[in-house]
């Protein structure tokens, strides 16, 4: 069997530390752990619980997040989604007067509000960053449309139709009398 210290993530070729491998208990890693982790993160907003559900050590998830930009983007997408879910759940419970959990215990509003407060800034920054990217895309699209309209106008002015055909010559004054 290959040296466990050399076991690498399938996508990143990232070397996992012995501590991460020990924390995972040497169990076979599911090739779908990323998807499972991100799904659980969107549902729970809890990295440790999500890692447990995915069958990986939290350290592996953090390490892959640091080293893989696409996973980092998906991580923040999942956190933003989880934040929105928690916010909506708290609002629903407050509006409906639903203070009990499914198990019959009392819903922990204080913890929910602490989580929302702790993640408010990072989620807000991520959403603002995405909004700026979206704004840039919209502005780029508008600029491209304006350029296309200018080109079409120049072609029209120069006597060339947009379809690439030459505009018919203007009618002579004799033709107008008929």
Per-residue pLDDT tens for 125-169?
A: 777 777 776 667 767 777 887 787 778 777 777 765 555 555 555
Q: Is the pTM for the entire model greater than 0.75? A: no
What pLDDT does 4 receive? 42
Q: Which tokens is 11 given?
A: 């996508």
Q: For residue 104, how many other CB atoms are within 10 A of its CB?
A: 6
Q: Which residue has the tokens 């120069």?
A: 158
Q: Which residue has the tokens 């508008």?
A: 142
Per-residue pLDDT tens for 66-109?
A: 999 999 999 999 988 988 888 899 999 989 989 998 898 999 98
């Amino acid at each position: 069997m290959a040296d466990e210290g050399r076991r690498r993530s399938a996508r990143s070729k990232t070397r996992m530390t012995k501590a991460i491998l020990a924390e995972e208990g040497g169990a076979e890693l599911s090739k779908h752990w990323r998807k499972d982790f991100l799904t659980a993160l969107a549902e729970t907003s809890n990295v440790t619980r999500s890692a447990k559900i995915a069958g990986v050590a939290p350290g592996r998830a953090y390490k892959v997040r640091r080293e893989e930009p696409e996973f980092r983007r998906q991580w923040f997408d999942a956190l933003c989604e989880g934040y929105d879910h928690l916010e909506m759940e708290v609002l629903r419970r407050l509006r409906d007067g639903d203070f009990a959990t499914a198990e019959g215990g009392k819903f922990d509003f204080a913890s929910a509000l602490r989580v929302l407060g702790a993640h408010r800034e990072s989620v807000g920054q991520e959403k603002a960053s995405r909004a700026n990217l979206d704004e840039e895309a919209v502005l780029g699209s508008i600029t491209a449309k304006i350029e296309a309209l200018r080109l079409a106008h120049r072609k029209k002015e120069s006597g060339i139709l947009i379809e690439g055909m030459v505009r018919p010559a203007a009618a002579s004054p004799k033709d107008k009398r008929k």
